[in-house]
A and B are shown apart, each in its own frame.
Chain A
Amino acid sequence: MGTFFDKIITLLTSAVAFGTVVMYGSLGEILTEKSGHLNLGVPGIMYMGGIGGLLGSFFYEMYVPSPDPTLCLLIAIGAALVCSVLGGLIYSFLTVTLRANQNVTGLTLTIFGSGLANFFGGSLNKLAGGVGQISVAVTSGAIRATQPLTDNLVKTLSASGSGFVRFLGSVMDVLDRLLFSYGFMVYLALVIAILLSLFMNRTSKGLNLRAVGEDPATADAAGINVTRYKYLSTCIGAAISGLGGLYYVMDYIKGTWANDGSIEALGWLAVALVIFATWKPLRSIWGAYLFGALYWLYNYIPGLSRSSQEIFKMLPYIVTIIVLITVSLRHKREDQPPTSLGMSYFREDR
């Protein structure tokens, strides 16, 4: 019984970790898509954010004898943001200003981002003396640092004699592991999701942004600077997506680099999650955790071979397809993608 319970807790915590990567990607993409731009470059941007953060902290930690954790954090996050915003800028310049095809631009950006990141990632591995030798221990440690609020309390309770108090202690222990065993970026993702939701639904700027994605000609006629909204939401969206790459590199794989394409796979899941969440940031929270749980489910099903594991990894995508089908069947106007998604806008186009 105990081991089963433990297994569930491990599944849930790994679901949260996995989900956080995807959540960052999808939150950024939701913001971008709300402006009417379908950025399929999310995987590339996550790659760029990840490698940017890694490069920054790698060199800082290499050249400074005793790196300061706070500075490490700032450098990693700053570098990740700069790199991913750069990706967003490339995308918005091509699709907003030059009105290039959004799908082609996005896919190209994914190829570009993954190539760039793997090139530098490979070089870093070489510099560090081999695969797995990269050391950004201080940064990764700072990002992974947990705040076990109840740690001491649990210990005291567990040590006490009374059965009921011991039970209380184990409940606290479970809560602790479920809710407080993560680095701060897990909580930051939740904060961003809530802020985005408030922004889009409760502020006039958010209303303007929604209008731009629905009907840019109308937004334009209402005096909204369509180009500025498109640029800003694409670039800020890219920054949020890029944080997903940073979280993956620093926390999920604990500060190393692997040229195995897993960021790309997560990036596509993020795009799928946007559809799953029907463009609502709050829905993407539980959607992301659900994706994580579904993805890791294969670990907890006995008798799976390596090849049949892969079938289970499809589950998040199958769920997305089911959501697409039900949303299409119900045809609720509020669950549809932004009407002008994927179309470029030119005021004097007739």
Chain B
Amino acid sequence: MEENVKTAAGPERVPAVRMEGITKSFGMKKANINVDLDIYHGEILSLLGENGSGKTTLMNMLSGIYFPDSGSIYVDGKPVSIRSPKDAFDLHIGMIHQHFKLVNVLTAAENVILGLKEGFVLNLKKVRSEVKKICERYGFDVDPDKKVYDMSVSEKQTLEIIKVLYRGADILILDEPTAVLTPQETTRLFEVMRNMKKDGKSIVIITHKLHEVMEISDRVAVLRKGEYVGDIMTDETDPQQLTDMMMGRAVTLNIERSEPKNVRKCLEVSHLSVIDTDGVKKLDDVSFTANGGELLGIAGISGSGQKELLEVIAGLQPAVGGSSVVYTDMDGKTSTLLGRTPMEIKKLGVHLAFVPEDRLGMGLVGNMDIADNMLLRTYQDGGGVFVDMKKSRKLAEEIVQEFDVVTPGISTEVRKLSGGNVQKILVGREIAGNPSLLMSAYAVRGLDINTSYTIYRLMNEQKQRGAAVIYVGEDLDVLLELCDRILVLCAGRVSGIVDGRTATKEQVGLMMTRLSEAEAAK
């Protein structure tokens, strides 16, 4: 594979930053092995790699969060030692972290000035006018006196960028900046990035989304399992080649979709309405059927009621009177799920598996190890006073083995694993008992291509087994390739159910943003 990779660096240019032979380990785990990387002035560089390939770790060593075990860093040709974030600022390097580094109870201006030595007495007036200047220059819109806890995700990200620019950064590192943004916000961010590039700044964007790499960057550098694979100019490559570089082997980008077999009615939802604690109607008269042996996709702009829908079915939220959720088992016996707790639903004999959006909040317990997390599903089985540790250990071993979970062992706390591995454990546990109904929300969010495809395959397998699978997704291309039918939600209402094989992306996209004429007339 490597011999196909062209090196894009010309010998005549002095890189703004050169990293040479960087190695970093955490305990036994090597996060970066002998990595070389150049960053040039006035370019947008994509740092591409799967989850856990060491992209963030490498950049954290530039921003002073980590210190390399070995290797050297040069800024404008001079060797430097970056021991703390302060050192990085002094070298005009600034990083926008994936998990925002903002203090919630402080205002935008206070966050900007945080940690700076600008006199003993706070001069917020000066900060405000500086922030306004930066906003005007690059086209941002941020109120300096707004508290961070009142901000939307995209406002927080903007604030992070302003913070870095205020400190005079010439090299900006953005760690998966689009993971939390809507498509419109992403477009705006890319515009800002282009503005900054025009201004002569170097920008590194850490990502694993190939279409973004192709759209925004001038050059791509690829990491695989902590090692540097190579770099290539964006206009000389294509997604397939980049995927191969990331994976180290050729990967097909097609999702397998089998024909539904033995379709039977499994779950019937009718006239379902949900009102949240603030009195806002989250779901409005939703009706649909989910069938065993079929994969039902749910599309919609984030926050259109997807979360509420799944949680009502799982027994985690109450619904308004007049709603009904009826489950039909293999023998045709029906039982209603509404008004029952998850435990009562389980006791009914309904094997319901739920992969929630919030993996470490609702799905798994971060501070418990892999084996103990298995117990969360089965601790009440057996009926005795003692829990069956052996079984959960065995299941944990099996999941680690089967799904290639990268972990030092099953006694490792889940929070220490990377996002993809966490999701594998969660999905593995949920499908372990052969569920009759499998619900998943944003199952591939934040996952790399390889893990995503594993998840798609698992969903498909459950469907072939006869389970009713409900898949809430955000990537329309995937939904159209994976699902048999797609239910489109718009502001808590069903704007239609389409066939996954015949529908087009434009059609679904339109339905997501406005109700069809007939629906709207109701």
Using a CB–CB distance below 8 Å, which chain A residues touch chain B? 202-208, 210-211, 214-215, 217-225, 333-334, 336, 339, 347-348, 350
Residues of B close to A207: CB separation below 8 A: 106, 110, 113-114, 122
Q: Are B103 and A218 in contact (CB under 8 A)?
A: yes
Q: Which of B98-135 contact A (CB under 8 A)?
A: 101-106, 110, 113-122
List 18 A–B pairs whose Cβ atoms lie within 8 Å, in order of A's numbering.
A203-B121, A203-B122, A204-B119, A205-B120, A206-B122, A210-B103, A211-B103, A211-B115, A214-B103, A215-B102, A219-B103, A219-B115, A222-B85, A222-B115, A223-B115, A339-B105, A348-B65, A348-B66
Residues of A close to B95: CB separation below 8 A: 221
A207 to B107, CA, bound (A): 11
Q: Are B116 and A204 in contact (CB under 8 A)?
A: yes
Residues of A close to B40: CB separation below 8 A: none
Residues of B close to A214: CB separation below 8 A: 103-106
Q: Which of B238-293 contact A (CB under 8 A)?
A: none
Residues of A close to B85: CB separation below 8 A: 220-223
Of chain B, the residue at the smallest CB distance from A217 is B101
Residues of A close to B104: CB separation below 8 A: 214-215, 333, 339
Q: Encode B63-104 as 1/0 by CB contact (under 8 A) with A.
A: 101100000000000000000111001000001010001111
| Nearest 3 A/B pairs, CB to CB | A222-B115, A223-B86, A218-B101
Q: Does chain A have a CB within 8 A of B30? A: no
Q: Are A204 and B105 in contact (CB under 8 A)?
A: no
11 more A-B contacts (CB under 8 A) besides A215-B101, A218-B114, A348-B65? A202-B122, A204-B117, A208-B114, A210-B105, A210-B106, A211-B115, A220-B65, A223-B89, A336-B105, A347-B65, A350-B26
Q: Does chain A have a CB within 8 A of B416? A: yes
Residues of B close to A333: CB separation below 8 A: 104-105, 147, 149
Residues of B close to A215: CB separation below 8 A: 101-104
Nearest chain B CB to A330's CB is how many angstroms away?
15
Residues of A close to B106: CB separation below 8 A: 207, 210-211, 214
A202 to B66, CA, bound (A): 32
A348 to B104, CA, bound (A): 22
Of chain B, the residue at the smallest CB distance from A218 is B101
Of chain A, the residue at the smallest CB distance from B114 is A222
A215 to B97, CA, bound (A): 14
Q: Encode B22-36 as 1/0 by CB contact (under 8 A) with A.
A: 000010000000000
A131 to B146, CA, bound (A): 60
Given contacts A221-B97, A350-B26, contact A334 B114 (CB under 8 A): no
Give chain B's interface secondary structure class: loop
A-B contact count (CB 8 A): 83
A225 to B87, CA, bound (A): 12
A350 to B27, CA, bound (A): 11
Q: Are A204 and B118 in contact (CB under 8 A)?
A: yes
Of chain B, the residue at the smallest CB distance from A205 is B120
Q: Are A224 and B114 in contact (CB under 8 A)?
A: yes
Cross-chain contact of B101 among A221, A225, A336, A350 (Cβ < 8 A):
A221
Q: Are B120 and A218 in contact (CB under 8 A)?
A: no
Of chain B, the residue at the smallest CB distance from A336 is B105
Of chain B, the residue at the smallest CB distance from A347 is B65
Residues of A close to B120: CB separation below 8 A: 203-205
Nearest chain A CB to B104's CB is how many angstroms away?
7
Q: Which of A214, A217, A221, A223 has the largest count of B CB atoms less than 10 A from its CB? A: A221
Of chain A, the residue at the smallest CB distance from B86 is A223
A218 to B102, CA, bound (A): 6
Q: Encode B161-177 as 1/0 by CB contact (under 8 A) with A.
A: 00100000000000000
Q: Which of A210, A222, A225 has the largest count of B CB atoms less than 10 A from its CB? A: A222
A333 to B89, CA, bound (A): 30
Residues of B close to A219: CB separation below 8 A: 103, 114-115
Of chain A, the residue at the smallest CB distance from B87 is A223
Residues of B close to A225: CB separation below 8 A: 84
A333 to B148, CA, bound (A): 11
A334 to B120, CA, bound (A): 23
Residues of A close to B102: CB separation below 8 A: 215, 218
Residues of A close to B103: CB separation below 8 A: 210-211, 214-215, 218-219
Residues of B close to A348: CB separation below 8 A: 26, 65-66
Q: Which of A220, A225, A336 has the largest count of B CB atoms less than 10 A from its CB? A: A220
Nearest chain B CB to A47's CB is how many angstroms away?
34
A206 to B113, CA, bound (A): 12
A222 to B111, CA, bound (A): 9
Nearest chain A CB to B102's CB is how many angstroms away?
6
Q: Which of B63, B95, B103, B119 has the largest count of A CB atoms less than 10 A from its CB? A: B103
Residues of B close to A202: CB separation below 8 A: 121-122
Q: Are A223 and B84 in contact (CB under 8 A)?
A: yes
Nearest chain A CB to B66's CB is how many angstroms away?
6
Residues of A close to B86: CB separation below 8 A: 223
A218 to B119, CA, bound (A): 21
Nearest chain A CB to B130's CB is how many angstroms away?
15
Q: Which of A204, A334, A350 has the largest count of B CB atoms less than 10 A from its CB? A: A204
Of chain B, the residue at the smallest CB distance from A199 is B120
A347 to B67, CA, bound (A): 11
Residues of B close to A223: CB separation below 8 A: 84-86, 89, 115-116
A220 to B89, CA, bound (A): 12
Nearest chain A CB to B132's CB is how many angstroms away?
20
Nearest chain A CB to B90's CB is how many angstroms away?
9
Cross-chain contact of B122 among A204, A211, A224, A350 (Cβ < 8 A):
A204
Of chain B, the residue at the smallest CB distance from A223 is B86
Residues of A close to B163: CB separation below 8 A: 222
Residues of B close to A336: CB separation below 8 A: 105
A104 to B356, CA, bound (A): 36
A225 to B85, CA, bound (A): 10
Residues of B close to A339: CB separation below 8 A: 104-105
Of chain A, the residue at the smallest CB distance from B24 is A348
A320 to B117, CA, bound (A): 38
Q: Which of B114, B147, B416 has the largest count of A CB atoms less than 10 A from its CB? A: B114
A204 to B103, CA, bound (A): 15
Of chain A, the residue at the smallest CB distance from B26 is A350
Q: Which of A203, A217, A218 has the largest count of B CB atoms less than 10 A from its CB? A: A218
Nearest chain B CB to A336's CB is how many angstroms away?
8
Of chain B, the residue at the smallest CB distance from A198 is B121
Q: Are B121 and A204 in contact (CB under 8 A)?
A: yes
A207 to B147, CA, bound (A): 14
A12 to B120, CA, bound (A): 38
Of chain A, the residue at the smallest CB distance from B29 is A350
A221 to B99, CA, bound (A): 12
Residues of B close to A218: CB separation below 8 A: 101-103, 114
Nearest chain B CB to A232's CB is how many angstroms away?
15
A224 to B114, CA, bound (A): 8
A204 to B124, CA, bound (A): 10
Residues of A close to B117: CB separation below 8 A: 204
A342 to B122, CA, bound (A): 28
Q: Are B26 and A208 in contact (CB under 8 A)?
A: no
A334 to B105, CA, bound (A): 7
